[in-house]
Structure 1
């Protein structure tokens, strides 16, 4: 389905082209084109041109607003200092650093460098370069020095594809690549700033430490002597504590040994006495002697009474 297009003749005049299949539309329907309410095709046309419709406060963004626009960086690229050398033997006179151009070189016919045309233009005029390159192309094709086979036709297609992409999406692509480049540069700048911040903090800390050492420089020998005395005193006390602990452990051992020895002797003595008494009790003569002694003691008690 073809779309209507608006052709600008004068400031307030527009000619509307209607498809053939809609030519039978009545005059009343055609008259509605000039009304305030746009029809379907006028809305599409307004959308393509970025013209706001009735009731819209903002103009719509056209999908073709970036077509055929050349992108340029918002700020110039930094130049290399003239006295910069990555090595003292670098020859800047014969081998200077390559300068990155700020903008792409000027071109003709959408893709041909302008530097190819300038030398001819000085001699042959404006049309000379076009005739030369056109004749050279015709000569190469005619003499079959450049065989224009089926693969050669693909070159034309690729050229057209390149022109189409570069003129439609090239602006957005360059803008996105530049933004990515700036983000990466800002990332590395952030790393450098963090390193510089750490260096500044280290410098401040070193200066404070230097000032503090300078302030105690005179009293440093006395402080070291007192610190050494405190360390010696702490070592002496630790050694004394170790000796006392070891002596107490040995004394406790000797005490426990003597107590164990006395307990063993007592147990053996009691056992010996108990065995002797049992032996004497079990002896018959001992029993008789014991009875006689008992009878004598009773008789003595009887006499006394």
Structure 2
């Protein structure tokens, strides 16, 4: 019976070694296909697993069972475990002394602690990790928002600079209009001054002409009056009276 267990254990070890080689060969071929295939290697950010890997019996990874399924079927891993245990116990490679039972008790206590307090502790740790991750994401998002705000502020500053250029052009036009208005005001002032002086000269000439005419008329009248004798004046008065009488009869 022990020889059969030994043979089965050796067979299982050979199967494990072959499987390990096959796995290493497949991993190396997959790595080579990734480096030389259609998908070139590139740096990728590592992603934290949300859930732990699947296990059986509390500590055996599911991948080990899947490895045996391809070679020996469903009962392969259990047969290998029983055979290896029988071989180790029969050859006293693994001796069941008092420490073994202490370890078995400790394992039972650990499993019970994991089953009872594991979900609560995992939820608490997940919450802490989520808060820590949210804090980092928030700080990164805040930094991104600050950069975006700086970019928007720079765009607004550029637009305001364009508005400042337009404002400068408008101010230049206003200054040009003010200069034009002051130029026209000065032209009007010069025009009014010249017009006033010309009007003064015209009025002076008119006054001089009127005074000349008045003096000339008075001089002529004085000369005429001086040339009329009293007899001529009497004759003129009589003639005027006769003319008035004739006009009255008519």
* TM-score (ref. length: structure 1): 0.36
Larger fraction in helix: 2
Q: Using CA pairs below 8 Å that are at least 6 residues apart, which structure has the higher relative contact order?
A: 2
